[in-house]
Amino acid sequence: MDKAYLALGIFLLAYVLFVCFSTRRSWIAVLGSVAVLLTGVLHPFEAFRAINWNVMGIFVGTLVVADLFMESRVPAYIAEILVDRSRNTAWAILAICGLTSFISAFVENVATVLIVAPIALEVSRKLKISPVGMMIALAISSNLQGTATLIGDPPSMLLAGFAKMNFGDFFFYQGRPSIFFAVQAGAVLAFTVLYFVFRRETAKVPVVAVEKVRSWVPTGMLVSLIVLLALSSFLDTGFSYMAGILCMVYALIGLLWDLLANRSDVVKRVRGLDWDTTLFLVGIFVLVGSLTITGWVDRTALFLSSMVGTNVFAGYSVLVLLAVLLSAFIDNVPFLAAMLPVAISMADKLGVAPQLFLFGLLIGASLGGNITPIGASANIVACGLLKKEGYPVGFREFGRIGIPFTIAAVFAAYLFVWFVWGR
């Protein structure tokens, strides 16, 4: 059988099994990757290259720092402040999402979720509610605002490199409002949706006792890591290695500090990390890489180009819609990389500014991942943390929040880009 169809068959089977057996998804992803190798779809070196080791470094490294941050009791302290100052549970959840959004504009989404998740979990414990809804809202808020700036998420960096855009261009480009403001338009509508999702959480927020912070060292590490991650985006514009190395270095420093200051069992701490989600991420990268290498992403791009015709609005709408639907199931980085040249060719053919299609493509590809628990790395991580806490999350439960949030955010941003750049 042709390697391309083998890759597609394995990919589709794996995703069906993800839906049916969500609690075994890491094993399914690993077995799917093994199948890709055994059938010869990918050579071992190709599979190795398909894994985004930078993201893996961010994930594992930040897991360690976030774990130390959690044990320092600083998240519990922050949670108390948020809880005490919120009118009710719904506003406490929105406060967490607002904090996530701010950090995500400057730090990669996976790192953002790992940084804020301990705070969200502490809030849920203090309010004695399930953390599922809050963690889902946290992840999708991260994915939304990560699109707003050049350094917020890899797709934004990819677009900036392709279109030669600098940091300021994400705010104003050629004298017009740019991506940042399109995302904020989406955020206003999306956060309104979140309020309606959680509006029934009307319980008064109880006054909680003041937590005693054990150490501010992990907090200092975390803040300095955030600053360095933001600065690294200017140096490593291709998002290829620096962020992952920084997180791993900080993880080693954190483990050393924990050993010397607290006499902790480092081996036990490392074994307690979320290796289940780590394996799942590796498997997903290999499965998506098999589609990219066998040409399915390119074929999708060519098919989309043939659908454009001569109608600018129709072409723009189809591009955004398909970007949303496809990125709900495949990694947005290879998809965006394949589609950027297509967006340029669409603009040239129709005689419009390329920013219309480029910005629309970025919004659709970046936000479409919020539809499913496997559509974005941040979602996978959030669901992995929930599973570790004893709350497995399925497609239906995630979609209850993710789908209306995505529709609202994409619709507002889509209209903003059209009215600013479509004329």
pLDDT of residue 61: 86
Contact 14, 287 (CB under 8 A): yes
Q: What is the pLDDT of residues 106-127, one digit of tens each?
A: 777 887 888 888 888 878 887 7
Contact 161, 238 (CB under 8 A): yes
| Torsion, Cα of 147, 148, 153, 158 (10° steps) | 80
Alpha-carbon distance of 248 to 84, in angstroms, equals 35
Phi, psi of 172 (to 5 degrees): -135, 130
pLDDT of residue 186: 95
Which three-class secondary structure state does DSSP give residue 380?
helix
Mean pLDDT of 185-201: 92
pLDDT category at 359 given cuts 50, 70, 90 is very high
Count Cβ atoms below 10 Å from residue 250 Cβ, excluding itself.
Answer: 21
For tokens 């597609």, the residue is 8
- Percentage of the chain lying above the pLDDT 90 cut: 29
Beta strands of 25-183 (E only): which ranges? 172-173, 176-177
In sequence order, which residues have a C-beta less than 8 Å from that of residue 73 and are 6 or more positions away? 211, 212, 213, 214
Q: The pTM is what?
A: 0.75
